[in-house]
Amino acid sequence: MRQVVLDTETTGLEAAAGHRIIEIGCVELVNRRLTKNCFHRYVNPEREVDRGALEVHGIENDFLATQPKFAEIAAEFVEFVKGAELVIHNADFDVEFLNHELRRLPDMPQQIRECCGVLDTLALARRLHPGQRNNLDALAKRYNVDNSKRELHGALLDAQILADIYLAMTGGQVSLSLESETPRGAMAGVVELNIDRRGLALPVLRATPEELKAHEKYLDGLAKESGGKVLWRIP
- The catalytic residues are 153
Please give the Cα distance from 233 to 169 (Å, whole number).
44
Q: Are 20 and 42 in contact (CB under 8 A)?
A: no
Listing DSSP states for the chain in one string gives -EEEEEEEEESSS-GGGT--EEEEEEEEEETTEEEEEEEEEE-B-SSPPPHHHHHHH---HHHHTTSPBHHHHHHHHHHHHTTSEEEETTHHHHHHHHHHHHTTSTTS-SSGGGT-EEEEHHHHHHHHSTTS--SHHHHHHHTT---TT-SS--HHHHHHHHHHHHHHHTT-------GGGSPTTTTTTPPPP----TT-PPP--PPPHHHHHHHHHHHHHHHHHTTT--GGG--
Q: Are 155 and 93 in contact (CB under 8 A)?
A: no
**CA-based nearest residue to 5, from 188, 170, 175:** 170
